[in-house]
Amino acid sequence: MGGAEEKYVKEAFDTNWIAPLGNNVNEFENQVKEFTGTKAACALSSGTGGIHIALDLLDVGQGDFVFCSSLTFIASANPILYLGAEPVFIDSDLDSWNMSPVALKKAFEDYASKGQLPKAVVIVNLYGQSAKMDELMAICDEYGVAVVEDAAESLGSRYKGKMSGTFGKFGIYSFNGNKIITTSGGGMIVSDDEEMIQKALKKATQSRDQAVHYQHSEVGYNYRLSNISAGIGRGQMEVLEKRVEQKRAIFDRYVEALDHIDGIEFMPELENTLHNRWLSTLTVDSEKLGVTAAEIIEKLAKLNVEARPVWKPMHMQPLFAECDYYSEEQDNSKYLFETGICLPSDTKMTAEDQESVIERIREKIHG
């Protein structure tokens, strides 16, 4: 916590606005709009709910296809199934670890030849790194397909001077407990289309029609953020840029200590972008190091250092075994999963804490 959160939560109690509306919700939405430069925002109970609503508003439904990044957390893809549609997974490139323009183009050409263009494309900004939005947006625009930008992990990142999450028809942020800022649990959907965000607000509040009585003409959801949680968000927004600085400093210390080791390669930062470095991640070459990523993670765990694998790609998940997948010449998503490690990246770590982690990593690599 940054320190101001308790003041805004107390305001919710003092004014007796506890429900999913109130001044904290309004002000939190205004903070996110101002920070990102978007025209409209709707605070929600989760980022997953934001993706769900975005796809619903794009008329995704039974029998439709949605292209989606494969190297991501399952929350990027589950809402496709909620709506009865079928995901088609797209490989990553090694420059960004995000959706490959080459693989996306292959998927579009193949599905266009079958007369089955997707209803939407979900592009994920993995671990805080923006995808190659210029190339990806150009392909989607060529085929007239809307983009939902899953920026759950990338609030505070920039791509060519523009905020992550502001390129697609909709952008989605997450404020889950592990994100760069948190409301305990929560999310936000943003767009420059103010009318669509009004529709998102209606969807998020059970699609209640304008009437004295309770009347409903379409399916809705219970996805609004509480005024208490939004109070936490208001305080967190005040320290967001500091959090980005801290995350980047953590990453820089890892690079300074480990990047010289032959066989270690850190997640890149695209030119003309600012990566918020939500998690510090790297890949290991087992032939050069004589140890695999999984073995390093296991050995560190025995020393009470929690490192984790990179997300297991969606096309490798049992749930999606029957879904189409388009890769580059090699399966980059699979390669990154098998060789990638997420290092401890908590902003509460002191420099001394991190140095202890680094020493243990060195021991396990060289030992």
Q: Rounded to whole angstroms, what are the CA distances from 85 to 21, 54, 203?
A: 32, 14, 19
Gap between the Cα atoms of 118 and 60, Å rounded: 9
Strand partners for 123: 149
Task: Scan for tokens 């693989």, then name that residue.
Answer: 103
List Cβ neighbours of 317 (8 Å cut-off, separation of 6 or more). Answer: 74
**Which tokens hold the place of 308?**
């984790």
Helix (H/G/I), strand (E/B), else coil: 183 = coil
Supply the angle between the helices 133-143 and 101-113 in degrees, to the nearest 10: 10
User: Which alpha helices (DSSP H) does 37-98 contain, by range?
Assistant: 47-57, 78-82
Beta strand pairing call for 340-343 and 308-309: antiparallel
Please classify residue 21 by burial: count the beta carbons closer than 10 Å to its beta carbon, then call 0-12 exposed, 13-18 middle and 19+ buried.
middle
| 247 belongs to the catalytic site | no
Element housing 41 (H / E): strand 40-44
Can you tell me the distance from the alpha carbon of 153 to that of 281, in angstroms, rounded to the nearest whole number? 13
Reduced to 3 states (helix: H, G, I; strand: E, B; else coil), residue 11 is: helix
Question: What is the rounded CA–CA span in Å between residue 110 and residue 342?
Answer: 34
The residue from 179, 203, 247, 364 that is catalytic is 179
Return the DSSP state at 75: G
Question: In angstroms, how far is CA 14 from the centroid of its own chain?
Answer: 34
* Size (the chain), residues: 367
CA dist., res. 99 & res. 77, Å (int): 14
Cα–Cα dist 128/21, whole Å = 29
Non-local (6+) Cβ contacts of 302 within 8 A are none
Place of tokens 């050995």: 299
Residue positions annotated with a catalytic role: 179
